[in-house]
Structure 1
Amino acid sequence: MICKYFLSAFLVVIIGMLGIVGVFNYCIDPARLFDSSHSIEQEMALLLKNHTVSGIANFDDRLLQKYRLADLPAATKVDFLIIGSSRSMYISTSLMHEKVLNVSVSVASIEDYISILKMATEKIHPKVIILGVDRNRPINPIF
C-alpha cells in the first residue's frame, strides 16, 4: 500500500516537473522551434549586418553565401576569393594583408564550387581565386 502510494506520488511529481519544463521551454523557446515569425531571409539579413543570430533551424550555408554575394556592392574590390568546404571556412582573412572574401560552404560539392564561382565573378573580379578542394571519401592507405 505504501509502495503504491509512493509510486503514484512519484509519477505525479515527475509528470508535473516535466510539464513545467515543457511549458517553460515552449514559452521561452530558446531554439526558436515554435516561433515561425522569423524567416530565413530575415535571419540572413541580420547575419550580413554582423549581428549574432542563434537557434537558426535548417541553416543553409549556401543560402547565406547567396545573400552575402547579392548584398555586395558592384564596385567591391577583392584581391583573394576563397571558395571551399567547411575546412576552408576557417581560413582567417586576417592572415593576408589584402582584401579577402571567403565564401566557403559546408560539405561543398563541385556544383557548389561552380555556382558560387559564377555568382562571385559576376559581381566582383578577384585577382586570385583559392579553391579549397577536399576528398569526399576516406583515405585508406595500403600497408
Structure 2
Amino acid sequence: MSIRLSNTGLRLHSILRGLVVLFTLFCFAGCTSMQAVRAPVAASARTQIKKGDDIAVWMRGGQHFELKVTAVEDTGVTGRDDQRKAWKLPYADIERMEVRRVDGVKTTTMVVGALAVVAALWVAAIRSAGDSLSDGLGGK
C-alpha cells in the first residue's frame, strides 16, 4: 500500500516559514522609535540623552550625523559614527536632534502578538497535514 500526501502540508509549511520571518521583522521594527529632543541646549540635552544613546542630528549647515553618544557636555554632544570617527557637535549649531529608544510596550506587544499568530498558524498547519494524511489513507 502506498500513501500519497498532497502538497498542502508543504505549502503551509512554506507559508508558515515566510510569516515567521515577516513577523520577526515587524518585531524588530516595533522595538525602537525615534524621539525628538526638544531645543537641544545643555539643560535639556542632559535630561534627554545620555552616554550610549543612538542619536540622529541635523546641523544648521545641512550636515546629518548618526552617532552613538560618548559624552553630553555643557557646550555640545560628542559621539562616534559607524566608522568610529569622533564628532563634537555644539548645541548652537544643531537644528534638530532625535534619540533612538527601545519601547518596552511596543516590543512586548509585538512579541506576544507574533507568538500568538505563529502558534495559530502552526495548529492550522498540523490540522491540514492531518487532513491530508487522512485523505491519502482513504479516510473521509
Q: Same fold (TM over 0.5)?
A: no
**TM-score under structure 2 length normalisation:** 0.29
When Rg is computed on C-alpha atoms for both structures, the one with the higher figure is 2
**TM-score under structure 1 length normalisation:** 0.29
**Which protein is richer in strand relative to its size?**
2
Higher relative contact order structure (alpha carbons within 8 Å, sequence separation ≥ 6): 2
